[in-house]
């Protein structure tokens, strides 16, 4: 995919969805961090179902700590890997209270120092909460980047670096959301919906035509 095609690709996605947002539900930076922590190997729908019950009761680091581990687990037990996620979240809350005054830090280094927070989670928080032009490469973005020719790479980090270099600056802040939504609903893993794809004209992928 050349530079002109990349610009047209994102201009088309922007025209269809001018202000894309994450499908995770949150009303504060801490709620976003919590939701993203819980979303690893889980669906946004599943996370939202749990946090709709959790956040009205505990939506600050101190309130999560006050729940205790068993209490927290009772709210998130419908989410995969909930026991390890609960431990990570409790320890993260403890660090936020002790080292950051209960606030979510705004630097990558400080975010990645939190238990259960890797590069992808830090990128989501930096982008969605603080408006940083970061690129959180999940399975959808990794697939779309490689399949379309937008940002080929063998690892999520390689795809991230390619995207940061190749996406025009005016699209960079929102590109993460457009690519996730495109991968989730159109450029799907097993059956890409090429016949209804608005950016198929700019894509390097050539779907196999069914035999007559």
Residues annotated as part of the active site: 120, 138
Handedness of CA 148, 153, 157, 162 (dihedral sign): negative
**Structure letter (DSSP) for residue 39:** T
How many Å apart are CA 33 and CA 132, to the nearest integer?
Answer: 15
How many Å apart are CA 35 and CA 53, to the nearest integer?
Answer: 12
Helix (H) or strand (E) holding 9: helix 3-16
In whole angstroms, how far apart are CA 189 and each of 65, 94, 162?
Answer: 39, 38, 21
Closest CA to 23 of 51, 1, 54: 51
Asked if 59 and 88 count as a contact pair (C-beta separation under 8 A), the reply is: no
How many Å apart are CA 89 and CA 207, to the nearest integer?
Answer: 42
């Amino acid at each position: 995919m050349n530079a002109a095609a990349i610009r047209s690709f994102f201009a088309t996605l922007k025209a269809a969805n001018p202000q894309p947002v994450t499908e995770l539900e949150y009303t504060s930076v801490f709620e976003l961090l919590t939701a993203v922590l819980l979303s690893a190997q889980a669906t946004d729908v599943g996370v939202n179902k749990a946090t709709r019950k959790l956040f009205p009761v505990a939506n600050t680091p101190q309130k999560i700590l006050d729940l205790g581990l068993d209490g927290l687990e009772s709210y998130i037990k419908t989410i995969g890997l909930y026991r390890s996620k609960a431990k990570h979240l409790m320890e993260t809350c403890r660090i936020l209270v002790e080292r950051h005054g209960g606030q979510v830090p705004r630097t990558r280094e400080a975010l990645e120092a939190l238990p259960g927070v890797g590069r992808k989670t830090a990128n989501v928080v930096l982008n969605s909460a603080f408006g940083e032009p970061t690129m959180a490469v999940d399975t959808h973005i990794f697939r779309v980047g490689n399949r379309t020719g937008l940002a080929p790479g063998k690892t999520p980090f390689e795809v991230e670096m390619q995207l940061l270099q190749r996406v025009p600056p005016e699209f960079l802040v929102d590109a993460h959301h457009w690519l996730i939504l495109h991968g989730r609903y159109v450029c799907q893993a097993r059956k890409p919906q090429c016949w209804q794809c608005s950016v198929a004209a700019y894509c390097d992928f050539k779907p196999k035509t069914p035999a007559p």
